[in-house]
Structure 1
Amino acid sequence: MTSREAKQFSPLALAFMGDAVFEQLCRERLMLTANMPAKKLHEMAVKKVCAEFQASAVKYLLENSLLSEEELDILKRGRNSNGVNAPKHSTVSEYRAATGLESLFGFLHLCGRHERAAELFDIVWNAGEEQA
């Protein structure tokens, strides 16, 4: 799909796809890191796919100017979209930032930019490890 075609989807539709993409990347990374019981893998994955972690990832990407202009635009569209309701365990700003990140991953996936998605995932994963 072209970038132009992918931009025709709403930011929340992109986030819907991006949520699955980000979670799959997390699960794959955890599985390849260590062979452990599924319950433990799930607990570890939940810590990485939560709004708090994703919001800190957005902050890191923005502070270090690691996104192209187009990627930044997609992230901001997702972050600023209407209809975002934060769950009780995160703030509205965290949830909005996480939605922006998920929109970006959904966009990259639909455009077939899997290497770029993997690159950004590696960056936020490693940044999260440094902060832990």
Structure 2
Amino acid sequence: MNPIVLAYIGDAVFEVLVRQYLISQPTHKPHHLHRQATQFVSAKAQRMLLEKWQPHLTEQEADIVRRGRNAKSGSMPKNADPADYQQATALECLIGHLYYNKRIDRLRELMAIAFDES
């Protein structure tokens, strides 16, 4: 599947996983939830998360990340650094790949690392 398509669904899956994690925490004020969510879903935060995941990735997952990073999306957002955006796309591509291949347990393992629960 096209890496950009995987990143498209990966973006949505990542957002849901972050929101599920946040509502499992004790504070549920809407402003607080939104502020916390942006700490995970920005391009810069996703780049940093991908760096955190790198040592834990299998060879196949690292290949998916490379494909996602090298994919041409056609446009860059105005508020994101291009390098951060490429890495964020790579992370979303990996999430989309795991989701479409029904590797939910692996996705949960990586998200536990994201939330420092591993």
TM over 0.5: yes
The count of aligned residue pairs is 117
Match of 2:5 in 1: 13
Match of 1:30 in 2: 22
What is the aligned counterpart of 1:125 among 105, 112, 115? 115
1:79 and 1:61 map into 2 onto residues whose CA distance is: 15
Match of 2:39 in 1: 47
Q: Percent identity?
A: 36
- More displaced stretch, 98-107 vs 78-87: 78-87
SS at match of 2:77: coil
Match of 1:94 in 2: 84
Match of 2:52 in 1: 60
Contact kept in structure 2, 1:85 and 1:92, CA below 8 Å: no
SS at match of 2:14: helix
1:84 and 1:70 map into 2 onto residues whose CA distance is: 25
Letter in 1 for 2:69: R
> For each residue in 1:17-41, what CA deviation from the matched residue of structure 2 results, as whole angstroms up to 9, or x when unmatched?
1001111110001000124222321
Unaligned runs of 5+ in 1: 1-8, 128-132
> For each residue in 1:93-129, what CA deviation from the matched residue of structure 2 results, as whole angstroms up to 9, or x when unmatched?
10000000000000101111111001111112329xx
Query: Which TM-score applies when normalising by structure 1?
Result: 0.82
Post-superposition offset of 1:79? 0.6
